[in-house]
Amino acid sequence: MAQAGSKTGSRPFHMRRWLSIQQAVDHLSALSEEPLTSDDLARLAEDHQLDLYWYRPGQQLHYVDHPHTPTTELSQPLRLCPTIESDWQAIVGVLRQRPAFPAEENDTPLLRDADGNKMRITFDFNGRPEPFSGRWYPQYGELVVKRRDIERLEQRLFQSDEDSDLEPQLLLDVIWELEQLALENGNANDPSRHDLQWLAHTLSDRTQLEPAILDRVLHAAERRHQSHH
């Protein structure tokens, strides 16, 4: 059985794939017109739009469905399961700066590793905290999110109504008009040189996109114009 949060060789997990809660808040605030707080992330998590992960390096873990499998240590963030509502609400509360405590003795949230195994944290006898200690739940600084999840949220959170109205057909109409401007300006000076192929290569030089891709876009705009005129 694969170990939870196992390392690739001896290398730790790639930190650039993850953001702390504060880093995520700072990142989204930089894109927003108004400052955001962790409470905004809490609302997203509460609505199950954002996964939360627990990262406490070295924390012992046991497999829920395989009790005879030896315990392992947490070396990468593990996803907190949102299926148990009371646990999830307590975790969401941590984002709102409300520490979480077990509702029952030694109660701790359910986790899943990359292979889908259910896991919970555990402690050896000497390091075992009090039954209702907050150590059984993640602390604010131990919660992390995937960078790609935050980047995915950017598009949804900050896409304006105006942006959502920009249908592909409208964009093709605008591209066609820009084509005409570029070609008319070029033809005034050198009629033999300026055509769609020249425009595709010129745009390629400016954007580093493949000329063939740009050529398809330009011709799609041409076809769009011809079909409506």
pLDDT tens digits, 110-141: 999 988 899 999 999 889 999 999 999 999 99
Same domain, 195 and 99: no
Residue 9 domain flag? no
Residue 6 domain flag? no
Phi-psi region of 116 (alpha: psi -120 to 50; beta: other; left: phi over 0): left
Query: For residue 195, what pLDDT is reported?
Result: 75
Residues lower than pLDDT 50 in the chain: 1-3, 5-14, 161-164, 166
Final residue of a structural domain among 119, 139, 157: 157
Query: For residue 89, what pLDDT is reported?
Result: 95
Query: For residue 185, what pLDDT is reported?
Result: 67
> In the block, which residue shows the tokens 């894109």?
31
Classify 56 as helix, strand or coil. Answer: coil
Same domain, 175 and 70: no
Residue 46 domain flag? yes
Q: Would you say 221 and 181 are in contact if contact means Cβ atoms under 8 Å apart?
A: no
Query: For residue 190, what pLDDT is reported?
Result: 58
Same domain, 84 and 29: yes
Number of helices followed by number of strands (H, E) in the chain: 8, 8
Same domain, 141 and 174: no
Residue 7 domain flag? no
Same domain, 206 and 173: yes
Same domain, 179 and 152: no
Final residue of a structural domain among 110, 134, 157: 157
Same domain, 76 and 142: yes
Query: For residue 55, what pLDDT is reported?
Result: 96
Same domain, 100 and 181: no
Q: Compute how many other C-beta atoms are within 10 angstroms of the C-beta atom of residue 170.
A: 11
In angstroms, rounded to a whole number, what is the distance separating the alpha carbons of residues 129 and 122?
Answer: 10
Residue type, 130: E
In angstroms, rounded to a whole number, what is the distance separating the alpha carbons of residues 188 and 115?
Answer: 64
Residue 202 domain flag? yes
**Each residue's pLDDT tens digit, 103-113:** 999 899 999 99
Same domain, 29 and 92: yes
Residue 4 domain flag? no
Residue 177 domain flag? yes
pTM for the model stands at 0.65
Same domain, 136 and 205: no
Query: For residue 196, what pLDDT is reported?
Result: 77
CA distances from 47 to 42, 65, 82, 92 (A): 9, 28, 10, 10
Residue 2 domain flag? no
Domain limits for position 174: 166-227
In angstroms, rounded to a whole number, what is the distance separating the alpha carbons of residues 119 and 76?
Answer: 13
Domains contained in the chain, number: 2
Same domain, 108 and 20: yes
Same domain, 102 and 193: no
Final residue of a structural domain among 135, 157, 179: 157
Q: How many CA atoms lie within 13 A of 10 on its CB side?
A: 0
